[in-house]
Amino acid sequence: MNLTDTLLFASGSLRGARTRTLLMILAMSIGVAAVVILTALGEGARRYVVGQFSSLGSNLVIVLPGRSETAGVNPGMLLGQTERDIVLDDAQALLRSTAVRRIAPLTIGTAQASHGARNREVVVLGSTADLLPIRHMELAHGQFLPAIDMQSASPVCVLGAKIKRELFGSEAAVGAWLHLGDRRFRVIGVLASQGESMGMNTDDLVVVPVASAHMLFNTQALFRVLVEAKSRDLIARAQKDAEDIMMQQHGGERDVTVITQDAVLATFDRILHALTLAVGGIAAISLSVAGVLIMNVMLIAVAQRTQEIGLLKALGAPSSEIRRLFFAEAVLLSGIGSMAGLLLGEIGSAVIGQVYPALPVNAPWWAVLAAFGTALGTGILFSVWPARRAAQLDPVLALARR
Partner 1 sequence: MIEFADVSRIFMVGGQEVPALRNINLHLVAGEYVSIMGPSGSGKSTLLNLIGLLDRPSSGTYRLDGLDVTTLDDEHQAQVRREKIGFVFQFFHLVPRLSAAMNIELPLILAGVPPQERKERVGQLLESYGLADRAGHRPDQLSGGQRQRVAIARATIMRPAVLLADEPTGNLDQTTGKEVMSLLEQLVEQGVALILVTHDPALGQRAARQLQMVDGRIVSDTRNISQA
Q: Does 80 sit near partner 1 (CB under 8 A)?
A: no
Phi and psi torsions of 83, nearest 5°: -70, 160
Q: Binders of partner 1: how many residues, by CB under 8 A?
A: 27
Q: Does 308 sit near partner 1 (CB under 8 A)?
A: yes
Q: Does 303 sit near partner 1 (CB under 8 A)?
A: no
- Considering only 49, 123, 264, 311, the residue that binds partner 1 (CB under 8 A) is 311
Maximum Cα–Cα distance for the chain, whole Å?
106
**CA 16, CA 302: separation in Å to the nearest integer?**
14
Distance from the first to the final alpha carbon of the chain: 27
Q: What is the DSSP string of 311-337?
A: HHHHTT--HHHHHHHHHHHHHHHHHHH
- Tell the smallest beta-carbon distance from residue 318 to partner 1 (Å): 4
Cβ pair 6, 327 in contact under 8 A: no
Residue 40 has a CB neighbour count (10 Å cut-off) of 28
C-beta of 203 vs 308, nearer to partner 1? 308
Q: Does 319 sit near partner 1 (CB under 8 A)?
A: yes
Q: Does 13 sit near partner 1 (CB under 8 A)?
A: yes
Q: Does 317 sit near partner 1 (CB under 8 A)?
A: yes
- Tell the smallest beta-carbon distance from residue 5 to partner 1 (Å): 5
**CA 131, CA 231: separation in Å to the nearest integer?**
17
Q: Does 7 sit near partner 1 (CB under 8 A)?
A: no
Q: Does 9 sit near partner 1 (CB under 8 A)?
A: yes
**CA 248, CA 5: separation in Å to the nearest integer?**
80
Q: Does 19 sit near partner 1 (CB under 8 A)?
A: no
Cβ pair 62, 224 in contact under 8 A: yes
Pattern 337-376, binding to partner 1, x per CB under 8 A? ----------------------------------------
Q: Does 1 sit near partner 1 (CB under 8 A)?
A: yes
Closest CA to 113 of 52, 187, 210: 187
Total residue count of the chain as it appears in this document: 402
- Considering only 318, 347, 350, 369, the residue that binds partner 1 (CB under 8 A) is 318
- Binding residues for partner 1, per CB under 8 A? 1-2, 5, 9, 12-13, 15-16, 307-308, 310-321, 395-396, 399-400, 402
